[in-house]
């Protein structure tokens, strides 16, 4: 796909943030190290883990360009610490519970030259069972979070120009960043290829109501959409409760049908 002469290829920085992530961190690290793209700077930011996370990081220390372990002010702060260490022209994020496809970085770089942001498909997993592949669409960002950060790569200069992650955001920091970039004219491109795999039951999934409230605030800040942002919030609350009722009463087929036909990020279970 690319001329694989390392010296001629742009450096890509990959950031992983982790806190007590020993269960899945090694798979995440190996997915970065196994990339077919040869010019990668890997950065790991640990928030002061007390389990076996640091042992795993040390095991691969000679293959990691930079890592640190210290308390932080939350995920946004950890992301920003990672970005501060990045030297690459392009920056990607992969959290400790998630993992890349082997040719993810190579595919993104091949699609990147004319764009500021390239994003691809993400497959979601729950208890080692696929929940389907979600198809993102940046044109829907004004409605809600329609991309996934683990499958989204951003030129580093955009962070310098428009700022990093808002440390006041605890659950929807990636939506705040992407909507800020969109409204400031960043050029997005969709890559119709699976880039990453993401496990559900993360922080945002466990605090979904707070995440929706942050989305409401973010839309008001960046789009000045006050009434529609409130309508969005209450619509999402009702939709989530209806989904949970259907899932808990054996009617998950209705949820899957709705997602495939009507969801902003349409989901394909094959």
Q: Kindly write down the DSSP assignment for every residue of 9-40, as one continuous string.
A: SPPEEEEEEESS-TTTHHHHHHHHHT-S-S-E
| pLDDT at residue 228, as a whole number | 63
Distance, CA of 88 to CA of 90 (rounded, Å): 5
Distance, CA of 232 to CA of 157 (rounded, Å): 32
| Residue 181 covered by a domain | yes
| pLDDT at residue 237, as a whole number | 65
| Residue 186 covered by a domain | yes
| Residue 132 covered by a domain | yes
| Residue 269 covered by a domain | no
The domain containing residue 170 runs over which residues? Answer: 6-202
| pLDDT at residue 77, as a whole number | 97
| pLDDT at residue 212, as a whole number | 77
Alpha helices per DSSP H over the chain = 25-33, 53-59, 75-84, 104-111, 156-162, 173-183, 203-206, 208-223, 226-248, 252-262
Distance, CA of 233 to CA of 220 (rounded, Å): 12
pLDDT in tens, the chain (270 residues): 566 677 789 999 999 999 999 999 999 999 999 999 999 999 999 999 999 999 999 999 999 999 999 999 999 999 999 999 999 999 999 999 999 999 999 999 999 999 999 999 999 998 888 888 988 999 999 888 889 999 999 999 999 999 999 999 998 999 999 999 999 999 999 999 999 999 986 544 557 778 878 888 888 888 876 556 666 665 666 666 566 666 677 666 655 655 555 555 455 544
| pLDDT at residue 61, as a whole number | 98
* CA distance to 81, 143, 198, 233, per residue, from 239 (Å): 35, 15, 22, 10
| Residue 121 covered by a domain | yes
| Residue 168 covered by a domain | yes
| pLDDT at residue 37, as a whole number | 97
| Residue 161 covered by a domain | yes
| Residue 81 covered by a domain | yes
Under DSSP, the state recorded for 257 is H
> What are 194's strand-pairing partners?
121
From the list 132, 131, 136, the residue with the least C-alpha distance to 118 is 136
Q: What is the CATH number of the domain that holds 165?
A: 3.90.550.10
Cα 114 to its chain centre, rounded Å, is: 22
242 phi/psi in degrees, rounded to 5? -65, -45
| pLDDT at residue 204, as a whole number | 45
Burial class (CB in 10 A: 0-12, 13-18, 19+), 115: middle
Structural domains of the chain, count: 1
């Amino acid at each position: 796909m690319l001329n694989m002469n390392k010296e001629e290829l742009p450096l890509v920085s990959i950031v992983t943030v982790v806190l007590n992530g020993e269960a899945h961190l090694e798979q995440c690290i190996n997915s970065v190290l196994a990339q077919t793209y040869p010019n990668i700077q890997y950065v790991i930011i640990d928030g002061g883990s007390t389990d076996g996370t640091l042992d795993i990081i040390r095991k691969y220390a000679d293959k990691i360009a930079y890592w640190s372990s210290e308390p932080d002010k939350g995920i946004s702060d950890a992301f920003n610490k990672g970005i501060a260490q990045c030297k690459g022209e392009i920056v990607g994020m992969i959290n400790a519970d998630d993992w890349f496809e082997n040719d993810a970085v190579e595919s993104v770089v091949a699609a990147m030259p004319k764009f500021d942001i390239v994003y691809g498909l993400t497959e979601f997993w729950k208890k080692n069972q696929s929940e389907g592949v979600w198809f993102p669409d940046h044109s829907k960002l004004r409605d809600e979070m329609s991309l996934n950060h683990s499958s989204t790569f951003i030129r580093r200069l955009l962070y310098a120009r428009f700022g990093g992650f808002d440390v006041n955001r605890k659950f929807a920091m990636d939506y705040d960043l992407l909507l800020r970039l969109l409204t400031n004219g960043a050029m997005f491109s969709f890559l119709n290829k699976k880039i990453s795999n993401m496990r559900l039951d993360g922080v945002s999934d466990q605090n979904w109501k707070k995440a929706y409230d942050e989305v409401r605030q973010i839309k008001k800040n960046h789009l000045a959409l006050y009434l529609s942002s409130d309508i969005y919030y209450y619509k999402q609350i009702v939709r989530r409760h209806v989904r949970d009722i259907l899932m808990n009463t054996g009617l998950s087929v209705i949820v899957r049908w709705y997602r495939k036909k009507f969801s902003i990020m349409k989901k394909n279970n094959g």
